[in-house]
Structure 1
Amino acid sequence: MADIEKYNPAEVTMGADEISFSVISVITGTSSLFLFGLTTGGPAVMVWGWVVVAFFTMIVGLAMAEVCSSIPTSGGPYFWSSRVAKGRYSAFAAWMTGWFNLLGQVAVTTGISFACATFISTVATIKSSYVPNSRKTIGIYAAVLISQGLMNTFGIHLLGFFNQLSIFWHAIGTTSLVIAVLAKAPTHQSAKFVFTTFYDGTGWGDRASHAYVAIIGILMAQYTLTGFDASAHMSEETHNASTSGSWGIVTSIGVSALLGWFLLLGLLFSIQNYDTTLASSTGQPIAQIFIDTVGKDGAIVLMVIIIVSMYLCGLFSVTSNSRMMYAFSRDGALPGSTFWHNVDRRTHSPIRTVWLAITLSFCLGLPSLGSAVAFTAATSIATIGLYISYGIPVFLRLINHTHFQKGPWHLGKWSLPIAFTATAWIIFITIVFMLPQVSPVTSKTLNYAPVAVGVVVVYSVGFWLLSARKWFTGPIRQIETVQTEQSLRSYIVFRLLLLPVLFSLDCSQDGVMPLIDVLQIIAVTKVHILVGRITSSYRSIAWRACDCAGPTYRSH
């Protein structure tokens, strides 16, 4: 292990409620899936689907907040699962939660940074003859990922500044964008258009039903409203840890839901012509709305606001992703853990997992070269992976409710009904987001989310049955390590104080027994030094970004 003591993830952290608000990033998720929303149900599904999703996301958040209050650790769902599960199932629960969380984090990095690349291609078409294609976009995507990797490798000390910039940029940028398009729009759509217009561009309306289209159309809202577990990861770095993380989860969902709905309504009311917007030469309806309302120069400015938001979100998604991989490798769960569990001596950053995150995210974006729905598939994978990792500890809390110890922040008599509803909703969206999104289903329109999720399930369960169950014990617990260190220290002090007495009592045995005692103390002291080094290494990271996923900057 490198000089990990110098690695200080505190440089990239902030308040519990602020970080969740920043990482949910409604402007990123809404903008990147705006085209999907317009063609998969249209304005009615986008508006009312947002309300429904926000309600059930709040239910999930409430259930998670209760668990967070009971177990206020920065490890989040990964650590919660190991604590809430019973006995021999503890390690397996943490194992599965960790793998689904890892899947979600890789996919969400793909979704955010690929959307950033797509919007860069889009803005390049305004006032120019540039014609984007899949190969050019994948090249831009690679450049975006590499730059984010370099920032996480050499610019670790700047991440704190970019955190604060991200909060300001999202709050001011979103508000300014909506005000600009509403104020400059030549005309506004009617309330009837915004709240009742249904549009099916998937082909499933005739082959299946409009209800099917509406159900799969909630992906935009659900993908956007993820990342609120970041408050849990920050709980130990705030006052009143047993309540601050819980309030951060609930507050961030509420504020983001309202801000996102405000953004959606502003964009939908500003549409000048629905068909023209869908068929925009830029490839992005949201860019066409900007051009129609504020002109091309203004559109470029507003697009830059969105691109910067996406870039910052992707930057911290890589940060979180790499820390999750680092923590998972520290616990021995990743193949080649001894290689990945490393912090660079010069940059004080887990460089190897940074570039592992970059590589996996790039690979997950490669299907876009031959798939028309690759981006929405990646967002489906991200949503499924993250929400399953949220749902496992909630489900375990539900079935082990007689042994669950509530914290100061709890739901009282509503605790079990809310946990049940949250679990049911997560099961529902997991199934929905694996369904085909475009008809007819071909190699170019296949939703490959079931494939990605299936690979993770088969691998994680198979690896567990064949090997991991014999050695994986769950996330490393810093408290237990510190207690071990303190116990060893106390034992050594006790034996040293007792040593003169042992010499006087055992002098008749030619000092053999005192010699054995001295050798025991030397051996125990060496163990103490070793544990002390390990503890000092983990103490600098354990309750921060590297401990079981750390502050989750899953911005979308």
Structure 2
Amino acid sequence: MGYPRKLTRRFRAFDNFAISFTIINIISGIFSSFGFGMAAGGPRVLVFGWIAVSVMVLFVGASMAEIASAYPTSGALYFSAGKLAKRHRGAWSWYTGWLNFVGQVGGTAATGYAAATFIQAFLAMQWPSYQVTEQRTVLITAAILLVQALANTYTVHLVAVMNRISVWWLLVGMVVIVVVLAVEPSHHQSASFVTHFVNDTGFTNALYGGMLGLLVTSWTFTGFDGSFHMSEETVRATVNAPRGIMRAIGYSAVTGLILMLALVYAIRDYDKEAGAAAPPVQILVDALGTSTAKVLLLIVIGAMLFCGLANMTSNTRQIFAFSRDGAMPGSRWWHSVSPRTRTPVKAVWLAAACSLVLVIPGWWSHTAFTAVVSVNVVGLFLSYAVPIFLRLRLDDFQPGPWHLGRWGKMVGRVAVTWIVISSVLFMLPHASPITATSFNYAPIALAVVLLIATVWWFASARRRFQGPVSYGRPDEVAAMDLI
């Protein structure tokens, strides 16, 4: 790919799969967004929307996997965009990289904040006198980011071990939650309950309300580009990285559907639980009692913490690669690698600091924080769409060992179409009446990011950034390898 090796290849096939599976994290995604789905479509959209969106995400993942096999680098999406573009390679690479960077940072921040919210819910259940405040949520999030940064500072081997543990935590945890919800409650909803439709979004158009409910699944299925970003640290990356992407999406789709059904059928008092501060927690309490609910809540919190750790790892590799090509302020700092641990330590702390900056508005306003981190999904999926779109325009695309053959362009067209639709949904109003507290600030936040990137591009970046840098011929690059 034109770069000297600075990172060690310690990730095996399972490790590469584990990072995307952990970032997707069905437990974290479903529990953090289930309440929104209860209002936007109810069980019908939660269950059947999960199936439909999972299929669409498989199309996106397959297209990304094909590109990952051809360009297995830490730069992932922005690198492949620069290579696949016919013209203006620097610009395509620039915008893809910044969309991916903002989406990655937003994901790390959002996961940490969600974990902090559920930690406070547990503390309030354990000690009724405990007062849940926005300030404490921010402080707990900061502590979580600190611990995750410390874990990522040490060797790639440690991160790989943590991700292996996280896979089993997710799978065993999911089985425990599902079995307890299936066996323990005295009664469940009838089989036909999955067709129950609810529209409490405030919008009179039921179709619009149901379409908004698809965001529950879209929010969950983010971050599977983590396998792509870890390519330079994965053995046989041209095969194991694309397989990691596809396995992570496929296994998450199946296990997530099982977990979704378990929660839906455990609902007792729909209106009461949908109106609770944390609807899935209230469902657990009503169905199982406080003691059992607290145990299951610990499983959920653990899953969220593992998810944040993997998010930060992926985020760090994107920063490392983007800086390696001189696309970030202080690039010399951020692409340096510790000689002792062979990890981009400075990039780790930049990822943690940027995530904390996004969390800070939550000190004063939960709405402001939600608006900023909404860019996570839009930024990530738009960065997914760009290289797929460019691959569709390229007649002489050279695939890697893992490819879709003659189905490549058809799959890519479906993937780009779905990304456009889901991105529009994320930027439309999510509740009515539209007020300062219910307004969806995501399009404004995204516009600000794109405006800054555009001004920066035309002011100076276009003269010095021409896309991915090549350090020389393969033999010259091999002679530069630092490990």
Q: Deviations over 1:486-518 (max 9, x none)?
A: 7xxxxxxxxxxxxxxxxxxxxxxxxxxxxxxxx
Deviates more, 1:378-387 or 1:95-104: 378-387
1:247 to 243, 250, 261: 243
Q: Which residue of 1 aligns with 2:282?
A: 288
Cα distance between partner residues in 1 of 2:327 and 2:60: 27
CA contact (8 A) 1:235 1:245 kept: yes
Larger radius of gyration: 1
Could you state the TM-score of these two structures normalised by the residue count of structure 2?
0.91
Q: Which residue of 1 aligns with 2:314?
A: 320
CA RMSD of aligned residues (A): 2.6
Cα distance between partner residues in 1 of 2:7 and 2:74: 17
Cα distance between partner residues in 2 of 1:247 and 1:7: 21
The answer to whether the aligner puts 1:457 opposite 2:450 as a matched pair is: yes
Cα distance between partner residues in 2 of 1:34 and 1:13: 32
The answer to whether the aligner puts 1:299 opposite 2:244 as a matched pair is: no
| CA separation of 1:390 and 1:288: change in aligned 2, threshold 3 A | same
Cα distance between partner residues in 1 of 2:210 and 2:346: 42
| CA separation of 1:484 and 1:187: change in aligned 2, threshold 3 A | same
Query: How far apart are residue 343 of structure 1 and its match?
Result: 3.7
Q: Which residue of 2 aligns with 1:33?
A: 33
Q: Which residue of 2 aligns with 1:536?
A: 481
Q: Deviations over 1:428-472 (max 9, x none)?
A: 111110111122222222222112211221122222222111111
Query: How far apart are residue 211 of structure 1 and its match?
Result: 1.4
Cα distance between partner residues in 1 of 2:165 and 2:345: 24
The answer to whether the aligner puts 1:96 opposite 2:84 as a matched pair is: no
Cα distance between partner residues in 1 of 2:146 and 2:74: 28
Q: Which residue of 2 aligns with 1:355?
A: 349
Q: Which residue of 1 aligns with 2:271?
A: 275
Q: Which residue of 2 aligns with 1:505?
A: none
The answer to whether the aligner puts 1:168 opposite 2:168 as a matched pair is: yes
> Residue 390 of structure 1 aligns to which amino acid in structure 2?
Y
1:394 to 379, 388, 392: 388
Q: Which residue of 1 aligns with 2:461?
A: 468
The answer to whether the aligner puts 1:383 opposite 2:377 as a matched pair is: yes
Query: How far apart are residue 372 of structure 1 and its match?
Result: 4.8
Identity %: 40
Query: How far apart are residue 174 of structure 1 and its match?
Result: 1.0
Cα distance between partner residues in 1 of 2:36 and 2:320: 34
2:396 to 380, 395, 403: 403
> Residue 228 of structure 2 aligns to which amino acid in structure 1?
A
1:415 to 384, 393, 408: 408
CA contact (8 A) 2:111 2:308 kept: yes
CA contact (8 A) 1:372 1:445 kept: no
CA contact (8 A) 2:10 2:235 kept: no
> Residue 536 of structure 1 aligns to which amino acid in structure 2?
D
SS at match of 2:481: helix
Query: How far apart are residue 84 of structure 1 and its match?
Result: 1.1
CA contact (8 A) 2:9 2:234 kept: no
> Residue 483 of structure 1 aligns to which amino acid in structure 2?
D
Deviates more, 1:391-400 or 1:127-136: 127-136
Cα distance between partner residues in 1 of 2:360 and 2:239: 42
CA contact (8 A) 2:134 2:366 kept: no
**Structure 2: runs of 5+ lacking an equivalent:** none
CA contact (8 A) 1:371 1:444 kept: no
Cα distance between partner residues in 1 of 2:259 and 2:209: 23
Q: Which residue of 2 aligns with 1:483?
A: 475
Cα distance between partner residues in 2 of 1:329 and 1:363: 20
Query: How far apart are residue 222 of structure 1 and its match?
Result: 0.6
Cα distance between partner residues in 2 of 1:364 and 1:239: 34
The answer to whether the aligner puts 1:333 opposite 2:327 as a matched pair is: yes
| CA separation of 1:374 and 1:437: change in aligned 2, threshold 3 A | farther
Cα distance between partner residues in 2 of 1:340 and 1:409: 31
1:266 to 258, 262, 281: 262
Q: Deviations over 1:133-170 (max 9, x none)?
A: 21221222222222222333357663232122111101
Cα distance between partner residues in 1 of 2:274 and 2:117: 16
> Residue 265 of structure 1 aligns to which amino acid in structure 2?
L
Cα distance between partner residues in 2 of 1:117 and 1:158: 24
CA contact (8 A) 1:174 1:263 kept: yes
| CA separation of 1:42 and 1:368: change in aligned 2, threshold 3 A | farther
| CA separation of 1:318 and 1:408: change in aligned 2, threshold 3 A | closer
Query: How far apart are residue 40 of structure 1 and its match?
Result: 2.0
**Structure 1: runs of 5+ lacking an equivalent:** 487-531, 541-556
Cα distance between partner residues in 2 of 1:375 and 1:330: 30
| CA separation of 1:312 and 1:89: change in aligned 2, threshold 3 A | same
| CA separation of 1:436 and 1:368: change in aligned 2, threshold 3 A | farther
Cα distance between partner residues in 1 of 2:329 and 2:231: 30
CA contact (8 A) 1:322 1:357 kept: yes
CA contact (8 A) 2:16 2:230 kept: yes
Cα distance between partner residues in 1 of 2:404 and 2:156: 39
The answer to whether the aligner puts 1:230 opposite 2:226 as a matched pair is: yes
Cα distance between partner residues in 1 of 2:6 and 2:57: 38
